[in-house]
Structure 1
């Protein structure tokens, strides 16, 4: 007759059975938990198949979380507006979201989208652009139309910026790759207003309007490089205006012809354009470029002199004369 197992052995086996049953239930719970997570991810958090990678989605200023979530769902950035709202709350965003233009280079899930709109991670790369002093609206537009700025419209920029010629401040800027034409104009105009503030006392004491100062500065930007020479030429040009003498500035013909640099011919001097300072007295109707701060300061602080004429020789040296006869002599002497 077989002997009965010791009680302690039976207790041990029973304990193992209970542990095994608990482990099975624990493993089943873990599997069920992850299955639910996968289901939630697949249904609500996974990026949509038609995710707008590389495109810009705008959340307007003042938009609520509910409105932003709806825009994200309608734009196929997320699968569920409800899910993005819950995820945003998890990241502590609550109803506070950062408005702006968001760009996501590749599809990302709703959790990462929620984090982005909570902290303002717009997903945009920034590009450094240097606008040279004296650049025209046409030249500025060409800088942005090289293909780097995906949302920039050259024609729209020209149409909107033409009336702002002279008031788009030349400077070095950092623009998002998805910057629009209107955003470029607004940024450059704001910069102009900020920079011009430091010259307001000089402009007010000059006796000329800001508009006239900017027009004169745009001429000086093309006519000379050093500040002292610009101030001397400014004195000559303001004096010509006082005595009703035509300005006769050659730099306007590059603007009329749409060329960066241009030496006018005798035929050009007859062009019927309001910018032709040989045919029409007074200042041109607008600036011929966007001058920098030094040229604007020179226009507001001219140096008085007895001269009425000037020319630059082939070495870049300026020569002044009192009369037209002296000016013709200088042309024969210093120009080929």
Structure 2
């Protein structure tokens, strides 16, 4: 009896020892060679997903052991988002400690570029965040990118307008304009161009034309459901050689935003004024987001030639000018009653 208890205790002790040795081994650095690895933790990412990412990047030996160590060291279930610099020579405990403290190890600034921003708005946002020092230098690179920014396709003469993908980025303070522009173009290539290359070719339209239409859609649409319809209207008007008459192009020509486009504004002399000039403008007028790019690539086929924004932001589409003018008149009357407080 005593002998059995002693043997059982020995086996248990050996098991605990082996487990301890295995855990100690799995906590060790993944490699003796120190290699810097950047890992991005997105907002809302769970600890389990992050540990899988660390394992796939060769930073930890075991996700199970790392999760145990991370929780023991106080890493929250949703770690602080950001770009973190780790080394393959760091132990799992060292990595967990950095995550628990939210220390990224990188001196970088986070910036979000919204859909529909123009080159000038992007440049101002980057300067305001301290990423760029010189707005003019960035605009010079963006307007004349040849030899400065690499692209797997030909750019229009207007440069990078429309090809700087709206997204969240991390850049060091005082970054070189070329680096910033390159990363934003690379994101456009990765998010839209590469996944849709076959469809772009099959569409029979050039990439600059698609991006230009997408930029018009981005500035005109207020709902995702309207984007393919507006793209369809633009292509229908182009096919009939009708002026596009897109208000956003007039604002781009004027060089500043206004809440309303006046009749006097429509006289501005510019190749971007689609009230005075048929066809597409010379290039994009803003950076379109993915829904607008996809709408321009896959427009909704219809007979619509006109649209006007309704009171809820969604657009009302018409096939004839007479029908369109009726809607415009109704909506003006509705706005007039609303502003006067009348009930009709």
* Distance in 2 (alpha carbons) for counterparts of 1:315 and 1:161: 36
Give the drift of 1:254. 2.0
Q: Which residue of 2 aligns with 1:256?
A: 253
Q: Which residue of 1 aligns with 2:109?
A: 127
Tell me if 1:241 matches 2:242. Answer: no
* Distance in 2 (alpha carbons) for counterparts of 1:185 and 1:250: 28
Give the drift of 1:261. 4.7
> CA offsets per residue over residues 168-216 of structure 1, 9 Å max, x none?
1111001112312221111111111112211222222222111100000
Q: Which residue of 1 aligns with 2:155?
A: none
> Quick check: 1:274–1:284 contact (8 Å CA) kept in 2?
yes
> Quick check: 2:108–2:172 contact (8 Å CA) kept in 1?
yes
Give the drift of 1:236. 1.0
> CA offsets per residue over residues 149-178 of structure 1, 9 Å max, x none?
3x5311111122132101111110011123
Q: Which residue of 1 aligns with 2:142?
A: 161
| Structure 1 unpaired stretches of 5+ | 1-91, 99-118
Tell me if 1:152 matches 2:133. Answer: yes
- CA distance 1:232–1:272, change in 2 (3 Å): same
> 1:164 aligns to what SS in structure 2?
coil
> 2:282 aligns to what SS in structure 1?
coil
* Distance in 2 (alpha carbons) for counterparts of 1:135 and 1:250: 16
Q: Which residue of 1 aligns with 2:123?
A: 141
Q: Which residue of 1 aligns with 2:288?
A: 291
Which of these residues, 139, 157, 174, is aligned with residue 178 of structure 1? 174
Give the drift of 1:147. 5.5
* Distance in 1 (alpha carbons) for counterparts of 2:255 and 2:235: 26
> 2:111 aligns to what SS in structure 1?
strand
> Quick check: 1:202–1:297 contact (8 Å CA) kept in 2?
no
After superposition, residues 173-322 of structure 1 pair within 5 angstroms as: 173-196=169-192, 197-322=194-319
Give the drift of 1:313. 2.0
Query: Larger C-alpha radius of gyration, 1 or 2?
Result: 1
* Distance in 2 (alpha carbons) for counterparts of 1:207 and 1:227: 24
| Structure 2 unpaired stretches of 5+ | 1-31, 37-88, 90-104, 144-158, 336-344
> 1:198 aligns to what SS in structure 2?
coil
> Quick check: 2:226–2:314 contact (8 Å CA) kept in 1?
no
> 2:280 aligns to what SS in structure 1?
coil
Give the drift of 1:126. 0.9
Q: Superposition RMSD on alpha carbons, in Å?
A: 2.3
* Distance in 2 (alpha carbons) for counterparts of 1:272 and 1:210: 27
TM-score (norm 1): 0.61
* Distance in 2 (alpha carbons) for counterparts of 1:207 and 1:166: 20
Q: Which residue of 2 aligns with 1:82?
A: none
* Distance in 1 (alpha carbons) for counterparts of 2:281 and 2:137: 25
* Distance in 2 (alpha carbons) for counterparts of 1:262 and 1:165: 23
Give the drift of 1:227. 2.9
> 2:179 aligns to what SS in structure 1?
helix
- CA distance 1:189–1:131, change in 2 (3 Å): same
After superposition, residues 37-56 of structure 1 pair within 5 angstroms as: none
Give the drift of 1:263. 2.2
> Quick check: 1:309–1:324 contact (8 Å CA) kept in 2?
yes
> CA offsets per residue over residues 211-267 of structure 1, 9 Å max, x none?
100000000001113333110111111011111111111111221122245422111
